């Protein structure tokens, strides 16, 4: 392989690395929202799978049935994280042209 070819590959790798860093920063600012119990519990998660907000309708709070509220919170947070992961994969797919690069997200 010629020096020019290797230099070109290195340049492309650096550009990809820079774009991936930009994408990770963008994902930090993108949000998804999921709810459970007909909207009684809503979770907001960013593209880095961090829980940003949790909303609980006061009617969901029953001191005699805390377990139901726990289940609703778990379901809403898990769905929001799942959606966030899908969003991150879709954005990465745009960057890599559909190539699956394990370990990036």
Q: Along the 105 residues of the chain, how does pLDDT read in single tens digits?
A: 556 688 888 888 888 888 888 888 889 999 999 999 999 999 999 999 999 999 999 999 999 999 999 999 999 999 999 999 999 999 888 877 766 555 555
In a domain, 49, yes or no: yes
Whether 104 maps to a domain, the answer reads: no
102 assigned to some structural domain: no
For residue 19, what are the domain limits?
Answer: 3-96
Cβ burial of 76 (10 Å; 0-12, 13-18, 19+) is: buried
Angle (CA) 28-60-53 rounded to 5° is 10
Tally of structural domains, the chain: 1
How many CA atoms within 13 Å lie on the side-chain side of 41? 17
| Residue 40 maps to a domain | yes
**CATH number of the domain enclosing 51:** 3.30.1310.10
């Amino acid at each position: 392989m010629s020096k020019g070819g290797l230099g070109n590959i290195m340049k492309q790798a650096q550009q990809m690395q820079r774009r991936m860093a930009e994408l990770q920063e963008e994902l930090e600012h993108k949000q998804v929202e999921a709810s459970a119990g007909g909207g009684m519990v809503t979770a907001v998660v960013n593209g880095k799978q961090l829980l940003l907000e949790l909303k609980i309708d006061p009617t969901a709070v029953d001191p005699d049935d805390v377990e139901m509220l726990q289940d609703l919170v778990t379901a809403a947070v898990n769905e929001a994280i799942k959606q966030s992961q899908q969003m991150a994969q879709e954005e990465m797919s745009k960057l890599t042209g559909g190539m699956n690069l394990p370990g990036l997200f």
